[in-house]
Amino acid sequence: MLIAGNWKMFKGPRETAEFCLGLREVELGDADVVVCPPYVSLAVAVELLAGTEIAVAAQNVHWETEGPFTGEVSAAMLRELGVYGTIVGHSERRQHFGETDGTVAHRVEAALAAGLEVIACVGETEEERERGVTEEVLRRQVSVLPDDEGLVVAYEPVWAIGTGKTATPETAQEAHAFVKSLLDRPVLYGGSVKPNNAAELLSQPDVDGALVGGASLEVDSFVAICRATR
Active-site residue set? 90, 156
Contacts of residue 151, Cβ cutoff 8 Å, sequence gap at least 6:
108, 112, 117, 118, 120, 145, 185
Strand bridging mode 32-36 / 55-58: parallel
SS3 string, the chain, reads: CEEEEECCCCCCHHHHHHHHHHHHCCCCCCCEEEEECCHHHHHHHHHHHCCCCCEEEECCCECCCCCCCCCCCEHHHHHHHCCCEEEECCHHHHHHCCCCHHHHHHHHHHHHHCCCEEEEEECCCHHHHHCCCHHHHHHHHHHCCCCCCCEEEEECCHHHCCCCCCCCHHHHHHHHHHHHHHCCCCEEECCCCCHHHHHHHHCCCCCCEEEECHHHCCHHHHHHHHHCCC
Give bridge partners of residue 6 from the DSSP assignment: 36
Please state, in angstroms and rounded to a whole number, the distance separating the CA atoms of residues 87 and 171. 23
